[in-house]
A = this chain, B = another copy of it.
Amino acid sequence: MNKQIAILGASGYTGAELVRLVHAHPNMDIAALAADRKAGQPMASVFPHLGHLDLPDLVKIEDIDYSNIDLVFCGLPHGVAHDFVRTVPDHVKIVDLSPDFRLEDGEAYEKWYGGPHKALDLQGAAVLGLPEVYRDKIKSARIAANTGCFVATSLLPLIPALKGGVIDSDPIIIDAKSGVSGAGRGLKEPMLYSEANEGFNTYGVAHHRHMGELDQELSKAVGKDVCATFTPHLVPMTRGMQATIYAKGDANAVRAHLASYYADEPFVHVLAEGEVPQTQHVKGSNICRIAVFADRQAGRVIILSVLDNLMKGASGQALQNANIMLGLPETAGLGIVPMFP
């Protein structure tokens, strides 16, 4: 029998993407859709492109009947998920797309998100939802805390490279670029078409919230404090993300190590020497493509990592986590071929 799924925050882009994925999933049914401000509306009015699917109408979050629900995707804003998780019955697994359960340390949470962690007692039930790193823990976790999109893009090459000792932990410079959909559906002037189109912008220089997750995971990988430089930029395209990473190491060794580490992973592809990953080649898919280049300066390496921010960077990763948590084949519903052009 198919797993019954609820999607909260279904009126946002990651919500729509989850509907696209779960609808096509061979072992899942969409049992409930929730979005507070749009409660009462059919999905067709919120996302016309889903209008022809047979979907439940949007309800308020508190009106979800969890009795038959197996798993909930929680796409609520940060700070809200802490409280919300308490309202979910124990039999329901949770994939949280917010940052609320990503940081294990309450002080770190408060530093980066400007308010107290309100569910530290539940933090132990949560695992960072990066399947290629934490697969075993995710299997038995109650809560998978999906990583941020920048974080997934950066950690997929960096964690194995650091663990394998093929790059130094300092300096690590992550020059990151994101498509505009990463900013979500909120109404902000810089996200208007006429403002973002035909322009390249930098934001959150040296103080982007995703740094907390980066610090935590990079530090865990080497067993000491790591503090990477991280600069996010906004690219005039809807989907796609790239991290250009500068570190010390030998390119051949890094490439070989990553290729070996990811040899059996279905969604992380390490390219052969000389091949260049492009965001347009992973669009709509759950694939992350990684390439390693020798810098012109001996002993320095340039790593490129690309993915679709709404997929492997958000909803695709979330579904991958859900598959693991529910004992389904990890690739179920995720074999989508990239759409190009």
Contact = CB atoms under 8 A, between A and B. Distances in A.
B341 A194 contact: yes
B189 A188 contact: no
Contacts of A339: 20, 49, 284, 339
B280 A195 contact: yes
Interface residues of A, number: 86
Contact of A198 (B183, B188, B237, B294): B237
Contacts of A195: 185, 193, 280, 341
Interface centre among A20, A205, A281 (most CB of B within 10 A): A205
Contact of A197 (B52, B185, B238): B238
Given A188-B187, A206-B295, A194 B13 contact: yes
Given A205-B276, A236-B235, A283-B198, A185 B193 contact: no
Interface in A16-52: 16, 19-20, 23-24, 47-52
Given A177-B200, A194-B238, A199-B240, 17 more contacts: A49-B281, A50-B338, A51-B269, A171-B300, A175-B244, A179-B200, A193-B195, A193-B236, A197-B238, A199-B278, A200-B278, A200-B280, A200-B306, A206-B302, A207-B296, A227-B297, A238-B341
Interface in A192-238: 192-203, 205-207, 211, 227, 229-231, 233, 235-238
A61 interface: no
A51 B187 CA distance: 25
Nearest to A274: B205
Contact of A280 (B49, B52, B237, B285): B49
A192 B183 CA distance: 10
A231 B302 contact: yes
A281 to B, nearest CB: 4
Contacts of A180: 193-194, 197
A77 interface: no
Q: What are the nearest 7 A-B pairs in CB distance? A: A199-B280, A49-B281, A187-B187, A194-B341, A49-B338, A175-B175, A49-B340
Contacts of A192: 185, 187, 191-193
B201 A198 contact: no
A189 B187 contact: yes
A173 to B, nearest CB: 5
A227 B203 CA distance: 28
A52 B287 contact: yes
Contacts of A335: 24
Interface string A290-323: 0001111100101010100010000000000000
A279 interface: yes
A205 B236 contact: no
Contact of A337 (B53, B185, B297): B53
A341 B239 contact: yes
A284 B284 contact: yes
